[in-house]
Chains A and B, each alone.
Chain A
């Protein structure tokens, strides 16, 4: 009965979403606040219903109810409970339900934040969001229904794809979806502004927290996915410029640009049309990512759901929302009031430069991802656009952007002082350059570009730190005064510094991979293999049984620079239900560096083993975490919660009149 209640709740949510899309729009066009406020309660009801439905599916998975086709196809009774639960979104139907759940959750949050959003904007955004929810609920119910039943119920499930049975992948999709879906909120706000024909700094201030929230989660989701690929796929790489990765990276680039252009709009009431366009494009890229991953246009690790009917449906959704919003944009954008001009040397100009570079970078990735697909569709030729293309195009675009980042960050609004900004950053630049030169000297004969890239990363970190220091110490003398100034600094300033320093840390981590080394060998027990600083000696290979897999576990002695460390284990698993193998790399972290051992096939009486020495590799992900932390600091800036008590009082007054 639980299953059917969940199914019915989902069907009911479709009806409610239609109401959420229609009635507030009517209210808006008639200036009728009562009708417009239906959107808020519809969003709440719709969230409650989808949550109920999701809970029903989770319950079916937890109880291994194989009379549900989706549970049968993606779960196994011997799985540990945690993977039974994560199996819910380890497949197309379930992950779509999670998508809709997050979508309605955002709707409910917008419905609840009465005090920080202008009512007309809120009503318009909720109506747009209702349209998106309607489309995705219909898609779920009509083509990808997770509540399809089987009769008679099979005795045992087919298990989840083994490479998805991993904690990293358990949290990666929800993070990523919160990111993708979060941008649906900025999209909804943009469309609402276009419908209303009014857009101003207030819009920017209302939308900024939602953009930040989506951006934070998208950052975390991409970082998590990259770390997962690093330790689970056993190739030692962490980014492959795979179309599926690019599909999440493009919205991130566009979203980062959006984040910066919204700031300009909030402070200077400028860049309005561009910001609206970016908001639309960011969500369009999120939708495109969804389409690429799920339509079967490409096969990848995420290869669930390759059904042409679904692909067609997503394509229709894509066309409706992208085409519809762009048409609305073309029609209404000329009516928007342009903001004032601004001086070429100022914070806002620097942010415009940032937007130009990020948009170009995003376009580059877009071409590199879609051109091979389009070519294959038209001519049937298969070409592979991989790392060389992106190294040759994406990197040269990013380097100048990152070089001017610290300078832009220390420019003032309205009229900046370029010389002053350059002077302020001279110390950071000098230190970074010195470090790079020292590195070149130390690692003579090694890669030349890598020390320079480390220097660039260092410049970003130091620049962010010096900028903060400047603001704190500028006119204060003595520790107490500086402390109070540090406390008085807006959270968003701290957030900016952290996010930019995070970029720097990631760059250092990426640059350091030039010094990583790799060794491949066939080992018998007692034999050793050396890569970089690390040496491993194969101790033993033994068989071990997990709940739903068997594993060949190889145990290694690990030496770093001749010093013995605790032994290391790497394994190959075979999941019995699907008879599919996975590799579990053995990873030992030493400060920021890692020794990485991955097993290949047994060859004769030896075992193929890869050993990597990965210096400073953790910085890549630590940098992403710092970026996300910076975003979170910005999000808690109290200025976002504007004038809450005053609005509440105004609402309360006329109530008794009725």
Chain B
């Protein structure tokens, strides 16, 4: 409401200032004679000055003076006589007052009404940052932090604070960058390395890549009891096909858990899911020779099915991985080439394949 009162006052002030000359009109008509006379008088004076300085000759000066006088006569002749305060002039004043009283507020309200936001308060940054406690604007603080780190890229503590936030926001690449920066600039702690590994893993859609493993190993070197690293390394074992090894590692991790650790439930769930996969379990329980044959059989089956046509990126990825794990590098490369051919239209798939061949060290053979 306050703001409308201010608007009303502004409008009133503007209209009042516009109406002022109508009520204090003074002379109603123009009198240009005085203006013209003074100009030509000064012009004649100038001619005299020029004559004194010998800039023009006396004959020319005489002619110029005559010309100025002629102009003066012309300027003052034919002027309408002053009309004074007449009835029509009063009517004109009333009409133009009405025009001002209507046009100015209507125009302002129309335009402001369409484009204005009278209810929006000012939000200067300083006031927003200063706002205390839980009502603090998280986005503002976060932006400040980012700006601070952009300006001070060597602030390890800042990086270590912002990295978990990135991780939680799903910005895995940023998280990886932040963790790496924190580790590089003097905080090579177990949690930082573990975070780096986790960011790399999540960035690879859950695959514990070689570089992630390096990070986890580094974390365990700093702190052998680092649960997060132990967990992900166990997952890595599972992804390598070593299910029993994975289960054993997870059980060991669970045994070492302090009472009431919040991650214990997650580990238990992982163990349950690993133990409750019967088909794979059946293969795992076979004697070593037979198990190998069974796996090879499954891989060949997948390969021939994909050879026949179709196949998603996911299936191709599985095939390439399996070939690599089985030590069949040549076949893996061939599969990667074929996959590139088939999925050639999909740029993101190509990128994923590139990343995969990179990771599995198949790169040198690809064209």
Chain A residues in the interface with B (C-beta under 8 A): 1-5, 7-9, 11-12, 14-16, 18-19, 22-23, 26-27, 30-38, 40-42, 44-45, 49, 60, 63-67, 77-78, 118-120, 141-142, 145, 147-149, 151, 153-156, 200-202, 205, 269, 337, 340, 412-415, 471, 474-475, 485, 488, 545, 547-548, 550, 576, 639, 642-643, 646-647, 650-651, 654-655, 658
Contact indicator A38/B22 (Cβ below 8 Å): yes
Contact indicator B35/A34 (Cβ below 8 Å): no
Chain A residues positioned under 8 Å from B293 (CB to CB): none
Greatest chain B CB density within 10 A among A40, A118, A205, A647 is at A118
Contact indicator B92/A45 (Cβ below 8 Å): no
Q: What 1/0 flags go to B23-56 for Cβ under 8 Å of A?
A: 0111111111011101101110010001001111
Chain A residues positioned under 8 Å from B20 (CB to CB): 41
Chain A residues positioned under 8 Å from B146 (CB to CB): 156
Seed contacts A64-B126, A201-B43, A475-B54; 19 additional CB < 8 Å A-B pairs: A3-B122, A8-B112, A9-B10, A11-B107, A12-B11, A12-B14, A19-B103, A26-B96, A34-B26, A45-B14, A45-B17, A45-B18, A119-B32, A119-B35, A201-B39, A202-B35, A547-B151, A643-B38, A650-B34
- Chain B interface residue count, CB cutoff 8 Å, equals 84
Q: How long is the Cα–Cα vector from A658 to B120 in the complex, in angstroms?
A: 48
**CB within 8 Å of A: which of B322-367?**
none
Min C-beta distance of A368 to chain B, whole Å: 40
- A–B pairs, 9, beta carbons within 8 Å: A5-B6, A11-B108, A31-B29, A34-B89, A40-B21, A60-B124, A202-B39, A269-B67, A485-B53
Contact indicator A643/B124 (Cβ below 8 Å): no
Question: Given A8-B116, A35-B93, is A14 in contact with B108 using a C-beta cutoff of 8 Å?
Answer: yes
Contact indicator A11/B111 (Cβ below 8 Å): yes
Neighbour of B108 across the interface among A12, A44, A66, CB < 8 A? A12
Q: Which residue of A lies closest to B13 (CB)?
A: A45
Neighbour of A30 across the interface among B14, B92, B104, B121, CB < 8 A? B92
Chain B residues positioned under 8 Å from A414 (CB to CB): 56, 60, 63-64
Contact indicator A201/B71 (Cβ below 8 Å): yes
Q: What 1/0 flags go to B177-193 for Cβ under 8 Å of A?
A: 00000000000000000
Q: Is residue B269 contacting chain A, with contact meaning CB distance below 8 A?
A: no
Q: How long is the Cα–Cα vector from A415 to B6 in the complex, in angstroms?
A: 65
Contact indicator B143/A156 (Cβ below 8 Å): yes
Contact indicator B56/A413 (Cβ below 8 Å): yes
Contact indicator A77/B25 (Cβ below 8 Å): no
Question: Given A12-B14, A14-B111, is A63 in contact with B126 using a C-beta cutoff of 8 Å?
Answer: yes
Q: How long is the Cα–Cα vector from A18 to B102 in the complex, in angstroms?
A: 12
Question: Given A340-B67, A415-B60, A642-B39, is A119 in contact with B30 using a C-beta cutoff of 8 Å?
Answer: yes
Q: How long is the Cα–Cα vector from A153 to B121 in the complex, in angstroms?
A: 11
Chain A residues positioned under 8 Å from B103 (CB to CB): 15, 18-19
Q: How long is the Cα–Cα vector from A395 to B118 in the complex, in angstroms?
A: 57
Contact indicator A77/B28 (Cβ below 8 Å): no
Question: Given A35-B92, A49-B14, A414-B56, is A60 in contact with B122 using a C-beta cutoff of 8 Å?
Answer: yes
Q: How long is the Cα–Cα vector from A658 to B26 in the complex, in angstroms?
A: 7
Q: How long is the Cα–Cα vector from A658 to B100 in the complex, in angstroms?
A: 23
Chain B residues positioned under 8 Å from A40 (CB to CB): 21
Neighbour of A63 across the interface among B50, B60, B124, CB < 8 A? B124
Contact indicator B67/A202 (Cβ below 8 Å): no
Q: What 1/0 flags go to B127-168 for Cβ under 8 Å of A?
A: 010000000010110111011001110000000000000000
Contact indicator A16/B104 (Cβ below 8 Å): yes
Contact indicator B28/A38 (Cβ below 8 Å): no
Contact indicator A643/B107 (Cβ below 8 Å): no
Chain A residues positioned under 8 Å from B30 (CB to CB): 31, 33, 36, 119-120
Q: Is residue B7 contacting chain A, with contact meaning CB distance below 8 A?
A: yes
Q: How long is the Cα–Cα vector from A4 to B36 in the complex, in angstroms?
A: 47
Chain A residues positioned under 8 Å from B109 (CB to CB): 11
Chain B residues positioned under 8 Å from A142 (CB to CB): 111
Chain B residues positioned under 8 Å from A14 (CB to CB): 107-108, 111
Greatest chain A CB density within 10 A among B25, B93, B116, B151 is at B116
Q: How long is the Cα–Cα vector from A37 to B93 in the complex, in angstroms?
A: 12
Chain B residues positioned under 8 Å from A11 (CB to CB): 107-109, 111-112, 115-116
Q: Is residue B282 contacting chain A, with contact meaning CB distance below 8 A?
A: no
Min C-beta distance of B213 to chain A, whole Å: 33
Neighbour of B26 across the interface among A475, A647, A654, CB < 8 A? A654
Q: How long is the Cα–Cα vector from A120 to B144 in the complex, in angstroms?
A: 59
Chain A residues positioned under 8 Å from B32 (CB to CB): 118-120
Question: Given A40-B21, A155-B140, A413-B56, is A646 in contact with B112 using a C-beta cutoff of 8 Å?
Answer: no
Min C-beta distance of B96 to chain A, whole Å: 5
Chain A residues positioned under 8 Å from B53 (CB to CB): 471, 474-475, 485, 488
Contact indicator A4/B118 (Cβ below 8 Å): yes
Q: Is residue B306 contacting chain A, with contact meaning CB distance below 8 A?
A: no
**CB within 8 Å of A: which of B90-107?**
92-93, 96, 99-100, 103-107
Q: How long is the Cα–Cα vector from A241 to B128 in the complex, in angstroms?
A: 47
Min C-beta distance of B43 to chain A, whole Å: 7
Q: How long is the Cα–Cα vector from A42 to B128 in the complex, in angstroms?
A: 39
Chain B residues positioned under 8 Å from A44 (CB to CB): 17
Greatest chain B CB density within 10 A among A22, A31, A655 is at A31
Chain B residues positioned under 8 Å from A147 (CB to CB): 115-116
Q: Which residue of B lies closest to A137 (CB)?
A: B111
Contact indicator B122/A1 (Cβ below 8 Å): yes
Contact indicator A15/B107 (Cβ below 8 Å): yes
Q: How long is the Cα–Cα vector from A32 to B25 in the complex, in angstroms?
A: 9
Chain A residues positioned under 8 Å from B24 (CB to CB): 658
Chain B residues positioned under 8 Å from A485 (CB to CB): 53
Contact indicator B147/A78 (Cβ below 8 Å): yes
Q: How long is the Cα–Cα vector from A505 to B3 in the complex, in angstroms?
A: 57
Chain B residues positioned under 8 Å from A413 (CB to CB): 50, 55-56, 60, 64
Q: Is residue B299 contacting chain A, with contact meaning CB distance below 8 A?
A: no
Min C-beta distance of A46 to chain B, whole Å: 9
Neighbour of A545 across the interface among B41, B83, B151, CB < 8 A? B151
Q: Is residue B267 contacting chain A, with contact meaning CB distance below 8 A?
A: no
Counting from the closest, the 8 A-B pairs by CB-CB distance are A34-B25, A643-B38, A63-B124, A15-B107, A15-B104, A155-B143, A64-B125, A155-B139
Q: How long is the Cα–Cα vector from A151 to B121 in the complex, in angstroms?
A: 10
Q: Is residue B75 contacting chain A, with contact meaning CB distance below 8 A?
A: yes
Q: How long is the Cα–Cα vector from A202 to B116 in the complex, in angstroms?
A: 46
Q: Is residue B304 contacting chain A, with contact meaning CB distance below 8 A?
A: no
Q: How long is the Cα–Cα vector from A213 to B120 in the complex, in angstroms?
A: 41
Q: Is residue B80 contacting chain A, with contact meaning CB distance below 8 A?
A: yes
Question: Given A15-B108, A38-B22, A646-B34, is A654 in contact with B29 using a C-beta cutoff of 8 Å?
Answer: no
Q: Which residue of A lies closest to B117 (CB)?
A: A149
Contact indicator A141/B115 (Cβ below 8 Å): yes
Q: Is residue B123 contacting chain A, with contact meaning CB distance below 8 A?
A: yes
Q: How long is the Cα–Cα vector from A14 to B55 in the complex, in angstroms?
A: 51
Q: How long is the Cα–Cα vector from A38 to B88 in the complex, in angstroms?
A: 17
Contact indicator B139/A65 (Cβ below 8 Å): no
Contact indicator B123/A153 (Cβ below 8 Å): yes
Q: Which residue of A lies closest to B24 (CB)?
A: A658
Min C-beta distance of B140 to chain A, whole Å: 4
Contact indicator B123/A66 (Cβ below 8 Å): yes
Q: Which residue of A lies closest to B112 (CB)?
A: A11
Contact indicator B150/A576 (Cβ below 8 Å): yes
Contact indicator A37/B122 (Cβ below 8 Å): no
Contact indicator B115/A643 (Cβ below 8 Å): no
Q: How long is the Cα–Cα vector from A34 to B82 in the complex, in angstroms?
A: 12
